[in-house]
Amino acid sequence: MIVWDNIAVAIVFTFLAGLLGMLFMFVGVAILPKMLDRLTPNINEEKEMVRGNVAVANYFGRVVQAAIIGMSIIIAAAIMAGISG
């Protein structure tokens, strides 16, 4: 009986960590472009990408990609803590 209680608690914690992780990911992805706009006030990334400026597109893509990977690692750690907790 105790084993099933531990499994149920682990499932609940994992589910909650996954939901919170998705919420944080959506918020982070929504905020990140605005943060980049503030960090580079003299460059309008959207216009530059439309004009075909590959350097700006690569920079923007790599920064966003790094942030998403970083958030994913943190979310995975939270989910693993829920499973092992």
Question: Could you read off the pLDDT of 54-74 as tens digits, one per residue?
Answer: 998 898 889 888 988 988 888
Report the distance separating Cα 14 and Cα 84, nearest Å. Answer: 10
Cβ(64)–Cβ(79) under 8 Å? no
pTM tops 0.75 = no
How confident is the model over 17-44, as a mean pLDDT? 85
pLDDT tier, 52 (very low <50, low <70, confident <90, very high otherwise): very high
> Is the per-residue pLDDT at 1 higher than 60?
no
How confident is the model over 32-54, as a mean pLDDT? 87
* Average per-residue pLDDT for the chain: 82
Report the distance separating Cα 70 and Cα 55, nearest Å. Answer: 22
C-alpha to C-alpha distances, 46 to 2, 26, 37, 53, nearest whole angstrom: 56, 20, 10, 10
